[in-house]
A = this chain, B = another copy of it.
Amino acid sequence: ARPRVGYFYAGKSANQLLGEHVRKLMVKDYKSLPIVVKEETSAYDAICTMFLEDVGTLFVVKENKQLAGVVSRKDLLKTAMGKQDLQTIPVSIVMTRMPNIVTCSPDDSLLDAAAKLMRYQVDALPVVRPMEDGDGVEVIGRITKTTITKAFVELGQHTDV
């Protein structure tokens, strides 16, 4: 059938083109630098790092850079509400641990990462790859709701080819 003017092209609707374009955006092209701390870092120092680096999520890594956990502003606020001394509590006590961490890969689509942020109700995903030697994964980036908001703004600013 002949395409309807202004709507179909080559059998594809504007919405199809839109979806296809969005699905082509890749995690590796949008990820930002991960901010990491060690397992023995105190909750106090973790909060300071969060403010200094202006991020809402820190990744906790072992000596060999293997991902051990994720700690959010929410986790630290909960800890700060308690009666304990923030200087003596290590982040390893309050973090979410592997294997309960939702991660993404540099070769995932940004759409899949955004869908994970929504489904698992987290603010950030570590971008990971398998460790070169041994078990576990290494953190090489981060994708947050800020990353997605930035990508959304870019989509809306498209006006030419």
Cβ of A80 within 8 Å of any chain B Cβ, yes or no, is yes
The quantity of this chain's copies bound in the complex is 2
- A138 to nearest B CB, angstroms? 25
Cβ of A73 within 8 Å of any chain B Cβ, yes or no, is yes
Taking a contact as CB atoms closer than 8 A, the residue among B76, B111, B148, B161 that contacts A148 in the complex is B148
Binary contact readout A17-60 vs B (1 if CB under 8 angstroms, 0 otherwise): 11111110000000000000000000010010011001010000
How many residues belonging to A are interface residues under a CB distance threshold of 8 Å?
55
Determine if A156 and B16 form an interchain contact, defined as CB atoms under 8 angstroms apart.
Answer: no
Chain A residues in contact with chain B, CB under 8 A? 5-10, 13-23, 44, 47, 50-51, 54, 56, 73-74, 76-78, 80-81, 86, 109, 111, 114-115, 117-118, 121, 123, 144-146, 148-153, 155-161
Q: Please name 27 pairs of A and B residues whose Cβ atoms are closer than 8 Å in the assembled complex, sorted by A.
A: A14-B17, A14-B21, A16-B159, A18-B155, A19-B159, A22-B155, A23-B156, A47-B77, A50-B77, A56-B74, A56-B123, A73-B77, A76-B77, A77-B80, A111-B157, A114-B149, A114-B152, A115-B153, A115-B156, A118-B146, A118-B149, A144-B145, A145-B148, A145-B149, A148-B149, A152-B152, A155-B155
